[in-house]
Amino acid sequence: MLQKPRSRGRSSAQAEKDKEWSPGRVTRVPSGGVAEEAPSTSRGPGGSQEALSSASQAARRAQAAPSAGPRTQKQLELKVAELVQFLLIKDQKKIPIKRTDIMKHVVGDYKDIFPDLLKLAAQRLQYVFGYQLVELEPKSNTYILINTLEPVEEDAEVRGDQGTPTTGLLMIVLGLIFMKGNTIKETEVWDFLRRLGVYPTKKHLIFGDPKKLITEDFVRQRYLEYRRIPHTDPVDYEFQWGPRTNLETSKMKVLKFVAKVHNQDPKDWPAQYCEALADEENRARPAPEPSGQAPSS
């Protein structure tokens, strides 16, 4: 019979575990101290208890009370792992990840090597998952993950969520904005959507609350910019593409989507086609590297 971990009174074990239950935190106590040898991945019954035990013990010892001095390979590896997991989880919600949040929740004691940690995490994200870590806008100190794998129509059949906007309400709005010259009034958006049976005030079977989706969710996710137009009465707002849209898709892709919907060719809109071509040329030039450096004082 397997040995169970040392028995401890529930209250003391609970108290220690309570430290790990804080919401929004991926890591618990600041790292330091000496770590164990490599945790083994568990396979099959029986043996897994010990394997899991050593993995978590190794992890927890690596996270033990802070101490000065050089960090071990294991500690660094764990820190990078935590950073990768943090970035993945945060990006799933499509909310740009702030550097301050990364510092607060993951980096902790390792502030001094933050740029290197970020670079390593970015490497792993690219090699293992095919995600590229990019800064939303230069010097914004917020990051998003871009998928380097092209989404494929059949993905929709095997995935467990809705994925990024290849179809759906957002794509329609993005198309509208681009075709109307990169900026459009909110009233015009609803005039158009009404024709599709989507209303700002009515609950929609698929989109739920379209008004909230377009003016709040997509804006918070940085797909859209939503600005009040001054001196309008009644108040009107205007929409533009947000920084995430430019990173995740392109004018050409959106134009092709619009063309497909109309069963036409992108070249049928010469002005937009020219603009999309110019955009493609701009993209072909290498993008600046995301900076892990703190802004210089």
Partner 1 sequence: MPNSLICCTPFLQKFPSYMQSSARRMGIMTDVHRRFLQLLMTHGVLEERDVKRLQKHCYEVHDRNATVEKLEDFINNINSVLESLYIEIKKGVTEDDGRPFYALVNLATTSVSKMATDFAENELDLFRKALELIIDSETGFASSTNILNLVDQLKGKKMRKKEAEQVLQKFVQNKWLIEKEGEFTLHGRAILEMEQYIWETYPDATKMCNICHRLLIQGQSCETCGIRMHLPCVAKYFQSNPEPHCPHCNDYWPHEIPEVFDPEKEREAGISKLNKKSLRSRQH
Q: Which of the stretches 195-203, 227-235, 250-258, 285-293 binds partner 1 when contact is defined by CB under 8 A?
A: 285-293
Task: Check binding of 139 to partner 1 (CB under 8 A).
Answer: no
Task: Check binding of 142 to partner 1 (CB under 8 A).
Answer: no
- Number of Cβ within 10 Å of residue 151's Cβ equals 14
**Segment holding 6, helix H or strand E:** none
DSSP string of 268-290?
Answer: GSHHHHHHHHHHHHHHHSPPPPP
- The Cα 55–Cα 36 span in angstroms is 9
- Number of Cβ within 10 Å of residue 242's Cβ equals 22
Question: Could you tell me which residues are beta bridge partners of residue 225?
Answer: 240
- Smaller CB distance to partner 1: residue 138 or 181? 138
Number of residues that bind partner 1 (CB under 8 A): 81
Q: Which of residues 14-43 bind partner 1 (CB under 8 A)?
A: 14, 17, 20-28, 38-39, 41-42
Q: Which of residues 190-219 bind partner 1 (CB under 8 A)?
A: none
Nearest in space to 82 (alpha carbons), one of 98, 66, 67, 104: 104
Among 34, 152, 235, 278, binds partner 1 (CB under 8 A): 152
x/- map, 40-59, partner 1, by CB under 8 A? -xx--xx-xx--xx-xx--x
For the bound state, the minimum distance from the C-beta of residue 37 to partner 1, rounded and expressed in Å, comes to: 12
CA 71 to centroid of chain Cα atoms: 29
Task: Check binding of 244 to partner 1 (CB under 8 A).
Answer: no
Q: Which of the stretches 151-159, 212-220, 222-230, 251-259 binds partner 1 when contact is defined by CB under 8 A?
A: 151-159
- The Cα 144–Cα 133 span in angstroms is 6
Task: Check binding of 247 to partner 1 (CB under 8 A).
Answer: no
x/- map, 108-137, partner 1, by CB under 8 A? -----x--x--xx-xxx-xxxxxxxx----
- The Cα 28–Cα 56 span in angstroms is 13
Q: Which of the stretches 11-19, 173-181, 234-242, 274-282 binds partner 1 when contact is defined by CB under 8 A?
A: 11-19
- Contact yes or no for 121/128 (Cβ under 8 A): no
